[in-house]
Chains A and B, each alone.
Chain A
């Protein structure tokens, strides 16, 4: 057996792809002529009209914003919105678990068991409030019980209706509506309202359907006419009208006001059968609701009215205006005696107002929707006597702050912008317990920041606002308002206000524990600042900025820090040492913060990523020593982040390469870099990363001629592979060619690295061989390929002239080092023959037939290219070919080519004396 002698330069000339293609010129990946590519460009630009979903619709942006607004065909709040409103209402007031039943709502009691106050379920409450418990006749029921009772009612109503017992349906519905008389349930009232109105809606639908059917069909089922969506009273037959009128009569005979109104509302749409302009009755209904003195009952009743009235398609918004006016009067009554009220009463009223808020919100939303539709904001402002309308903004009457709040919320931003000073006056005049005034200032700020149009009198508006808020002593109020106005301040470059803001925050944060709400506002402020400035340096240089960051804590601090880091790493390399230091400190805070947020894995990951990115972007330019020191510091500071270690190694390698290129005598520095890596790499847990970094560092050290280091790193790499255990090995296997390519890379580097005279040149290949044979996770396929790789390596090393050498001329290649040394060749030959004996067994170990066949062919090719054709070799090759033949189709291309190759070699070397062993 003898290694084949190779002339790599000649082979390259023969087999290189490039010269052949340049002559033939039909390779598919080569651009033949330029004209065709130009054509493609032209065609592309000419087809701009076709719709590409990924392309930015530049021309249509304007239209899209218009589409966002509700279109004119559907000006009413949709059923969907109502449903979501109901959901949020129930969630908002879901606190109470038990409902006290007063005598008014005892209808709910007759349907099953009720907890007497002394029962075990309420024992705890009894202890809390013995006086209440001792009162006779107080009954308590859980919310769920209440709900299920109402469901029973609902079923009863439906059942009775189906059984043609409509009187019972109506009677039960009245009982249900009466439940709303009891407002003492306070927190439960909104939920009760929703449950009751659901029942009302069911009744309303049934009545509507029945009358509609009467109008469309005769008793025996023949069609009279089908009513259009917008039918008039003339389309309705007198029989249907009569039935309809009877329903209103029945409901009209209900003595109590509240159930009567609810029942009429439930069938309100039926007025369409009787009146040509049914919405005209809305005015009367609005007035009727005034008779409900209880604020809670009357507000929710109005809510149901507005909801039902939408179905009448009223062209007139007068009823809504009247509604809000009435609601305002009631609200004013609640807030009016603030000064004389006891503290407890104030608290009671504040909680009452929070219950009244949802109906107010919904109705204001409805009216603004109408106003939007008709572009009649002016008109509505005048009617509601919110000041004297928008145009005449001198002199405002006193307004209620919660009402202004909800109006402001619904008004379009352009309108707010163009009437900013007027709205500001409204807000100033409204300061009462219904809503803290600062929330209105905040809302104004947010609205103005939407910036669809220019703000009117921005200077004077901001001047006034700041005059007010500088009086605020509480941090949360201050930062909330400031946060809202910050966008405008930044947009108009009002640096003086920015200074005021930062000063203000600084003063208010001193010697004070900062709460969650305040933190989130501060966070928002800082994020806005960061977004505004281009350079992180500019932000860091702001007055009090660092001070403010230092008082923050918890997750907000983290978020802010991450934003700063993000900003800092946006604009490429970070060269300024002060900035680097600041960002380093911030990173350290992030890294060191108590690990309470580690539950959020992605949060941590993002944080690690930002820090890594920062380290990557730091650039000390010529001060490479300093840079390396920085890397060492980072390694010490950010021990938890494994991602960073990879970055550190890469950065240090990069530094080393830069030093080699730039500096005159870099060896010492490069050595430190490599040493840094030697220390850093073992601390990385992932084998794959470690392997890659070892190989990379080997290359760098070879580049600078540090053979000793390269040697050591190769051993470390082999150790690293050696230490892979069963379970990790199986994982690495999945990354199919990972392990193989590392070994191949390693072998290719071994070509350059001078063999160690003490251990012998075959030491490394031998270790690798031992490694693949000893580990059970290595598949037969992988093992065989490693055999082949080692065969190639040994064959290469045996050449008199190696195919490539180290970049650094001081690294002497093995070809020169061992030129003509017989023991060297001996060593190679003995290892290679031991590998060769294992090849056939190795192939046979592969269980899959097709793979086995292909492996046999692969091995055959490797053997042929490594050895001179001798009879020994031909025996091995023919055995391999037999295996291949038994496993593969005879027409397999790879096999046929291999056979050809085999024949050629055998005949070339052995001449005619030996016949081809295998033929197809």
Chain B
């Protein structure tokens, strides 16, 4: 006795104002009677605040009430019987914007504190004597095609320099005295399906380089009362140099944005999701070997870094 949900699109991506299509596949050894079959599509923003920055106020810790983006429920079959064997019941649900508190759909996102999730559930009600049967799958919402931006002709590159003087944290004495100079450029606006592009050149460095990494960071902010609680989390690290590479050679920055872990930059009042890119140069140091598992985003004596905001958007 099982039921299963299958969506019409194998990638499960749907856009606002499209109809969510699929079918319920029910397999029974014998026929059963039911009191109606119902399909419910929901969209919620789940917010939670973990200790950290808000730790002073105990009451802030914990899960906040989810914010509903949408809820659409339809009965696909009124009460009746389902015969034995496999039965397929097709369904269609319109994904209409502006029904609830939010005027538009946000894209699916699974972050550390903020999760925007869309689910579709099928229920077969069987009265009080029997447990009702149900199945749930997630579907993914991407922005409406008509709302999409045209891809900028040439993505804007921002130049950066990393030297011992641009660092706001203490450095190893040999780093500071010997000096280093790293130049590069990187885009700060990036389409989700495009790689994050840029380039970087070690122009000089007295201390040999151990590694260069690009960190993709996500800044999730939640408005609690009058206070905005922000937390930055690391989404993905991409190493672009391993070891003491030749100086004056240009290296490419090339990062493919991970799906689900990224979404268009959102600022919705109650919450916001923003992104950053951080270029981290770690120098060879005996000290670094003592901290092999340290959080790479935390400034250390042997690290030099440059963090830039990154606006993500969806294009055609």
Query: Across the interface, which residues of B come within 8 angstroms of A260, CB to CB?
Result: 238-239
Task: Using known A-B contacts A242-B11, A253-B256, A330-B246, determine if residue A287 contacts B241 with beta carbons closer than 8 Å.
Answer: no
Residue B310 CB within 8 A of the other chain? no
| A255 to B212 alpha-carbon distance, docked (Å) | 11
Task: Using known A-B contacts A253-B236, A255-B238, A256-B239, determine if residue A291 contacts B256 with beta carbons closer than 8 Å.
Answer: no
Query: Across the interface, which residues of B come within 8 angstroms of A333, CB to CB?
Result: 246
Residue of A nearest to B259 (CB): A249
Stretch of B112-120, B223-231, B247-255 that contacts chain A: B247-255
Query: Across the interface, which residues of B come within 8 angstroms of A255, CB to CB?
Result: 213, 236-239
| A333 to B193 alpha-carbon distance, docked (Å) | 39
Query: Across the interface, which residues of A come within 8 angstroms of B258, CB to CB?
Result: 249, 252-253
Cβ–Cβ contact A287 & B252, under 8 A: yes
| Interface bits A803-842 vs B (CB < 8 Å: 1, else 0) | 0000000000000000000000000000000000000000
B62 to chain A, nearest CB (A): 31
Query: Across the interface, which residues of B come within 8 angstroms of A256, CB to CB?
Result: 239, 242
Residue A239 CB within 8 A of the other chain? yes
Residue A601 CB within 8 A of the other chain? no
Interface size on A, residues (CB 8 A): 28
Residues of chain A in range 253-308 having any CB-CB distance to chain B below 8 Å: 253, 255-258, 260, 284, 287-288, 290-294, 297
A715 to chain B, nearest CB (A): 94
Residue of B nearest to A251 (CB): B256
Query: Across the interface, which residues of A come within 8 angstroms of B243, CB to CB?
Result: 292-294
| A258 to B243 alpha-carbon distance, docked (Å) | 11
Query: Across the interface, which residues of A come within 8 angstroms of B10, CB to CB?
Result: 219, 239
A619 to chain B, nearest CB (A): 74
The one of A246, A257, A290 that contacts B239, using a Cβ cutoff of 8 Å: A257
Cβ–Cβ contact B246 & A291, under 8 A: no
Query: Across the interface, which residues of B come within 8 angstroms of A258, CB to CB?
Result: 242
B110 to chain A, nearest CB (A): 15
Residue A248 CB within 8 A of the other chain? yes
Residue A56 CB within 8 A of the other chain? no
| A333 to B248 alpha-carbon distance, docked (Å) | 13
Q: How large is the interface on B (under 10, 10 to 19, 20 to 34, 35 or more residues)?
A: 20 to 34
Query: Across the interface, which residues of B come within 8 angstroms of A287, CB to CB?
Result: 199, 250-252
Query: Across the interface, which residues of B come within 8 angstroms of A329, CB to CB?
Result: 246, 249
Residue A903 CB within 8 A of the other chain? no
Majority-rule SS of A interface residues:
helix
Query: Across the interface, which residues of B come within 8 angstroms of A294, CB to CB?
Result: 242-243
Majority-rule SS of B interface residues:
strand
Residues of chain A in range 314-339 having any CB-CB distance to chain B below 8 Å: 326, 329-330, 333
Query: How many residue pairs bridge A and B at CB < 8 Å?
Result: 75
Cβ–Cβ contact A290 & B242, under 8 A: no
Query: Across the interface, which residues of B come within 8 angstroms of A290, CB to CB?
Result: 241, 245-246, 249-251
Cβ–Cβ contact B255 & A288, under 8 A: no
Residue B240 CB within 8 A of the other chain? yes
Query: Across the interface, which residues of B come within 8 angstroms of A253, CB to CB?
Result: 236, 256, 258
Query: Across the interface, which residues of B come within 8 angstroms of A326, CB to CB?
Result: 249
Residues of chain B in range 43-67 having any CB-CB distance to chain A below 8 Å: none
Residues of chain B in range 155-174 having any CB-CB distance to chain A below 8 Å: none
A364 to chain B, nearest CB (A): 20
Cβ–Cβ contact B11 & A288, under 8 A: no
Residue of B nearest to A288 (CB): B252
Residues of chain B in range 196-240 having any CB-CB distance to chain A below 8 Å: 199, 209, 212-213, 236-240
Residue B138 CB within 8 A of the other chain? no
B1 to chain A, nearest CB (A): 26
Query: Across the interface, which residues of B come within 8 angstroms of A257, CB to CB?
Result: 239-242
Residue B123 CB within 8 A of the other chain? no
Residue B244 CB within 8 A of the other chain? yes
Query: Across the interface, which residues of A come within 8 angstroms of B212, CB to CB?
Result: 291
A108 to chain B, nearest CB (A): 20
Residues of chain A in range 535-575 having any CB-CB distance to chain B below 8 Å: none
Residues of chain A in range 33-60 having any CB-CB distance to chain B below 8 Å: none
Query: Across the interface, which residues of A come within 8 angstroms of B240, CB to CB?
Result: 257, 288, 291
Residue of A nearest to B195 (CB): A252
Query: Across the interface, which residues of B come within 8 angstroms of A284, CB to CB?
Result: 252, 254
Task: Using known A-B contacts A248-B256, A253-B256, A255-B237, determine if residue A293 contacts B244 with beta carbons closer than 8 Å.
Answer: yes
| A255 to B199 alpha-carbon distance, docked (Å) | 18
B316 to chain A, nearest CB (A): 14
The one of B238, B241, B252 that contacts A293, using a Cβ cutoff of 8 Å: B241
B140 to chain A, nearest CB (A): 12
Task: Using known A-B contacts A249-B256, A255-B238, determine if residue A293 contacts B249 with beta carbons closer than 8 Å.
Answer: no
Residue of B nearest to A281 (CB): B254
A282 to chain B, nearest CB (A): 12
| A257 to B245 alpha-carbon distance, docked (Å) | 13
A178 to chain B, nearest CB (A): 12
Chain A CB count within 10 A is highest, among B240, B242, B250, for B242
Query: Across the interface, which residues of A come within 8 angstroms of B213, CB to CB?
Result: 255
Query: Across the interface, which residues of A come within 8 angstroms of B244, CB to CB?
Result: 293
Across the A-B interface, the 3 shortest Cβ-Cβ residue pairs: A293-B243, A252-B256, A291-B241
Q: List 7 A-B contacts (CB under 8 A).
A: A255-B238, A257-B242, A288-B251, A290-B250, A291-B242, A293-B209, A329-B246
Q: Which residues of B contact A (CB under 8 A)?
A: 10-11, 193, 195, 199, 209, 212-213, 236-246, 249-252, 254-256, 258-259
Q: Which residues of A contact B (CB under 8 A)?
A: 181, 219, 239, 242, 245-246, 248-249, 252-253, 255-258, 260, 284, 287-288, 290-294, 297, 326, 329-330, 333
Known: A248-B256, A287-B250, A297-B242. 11 other contacts (CB 8 A): A249-B256, A252-B195, A252-B258, A253-B258, A255-B238, A288-B240, A290-B241, A290-B246, A292-B245, A293-B246, A329-B249
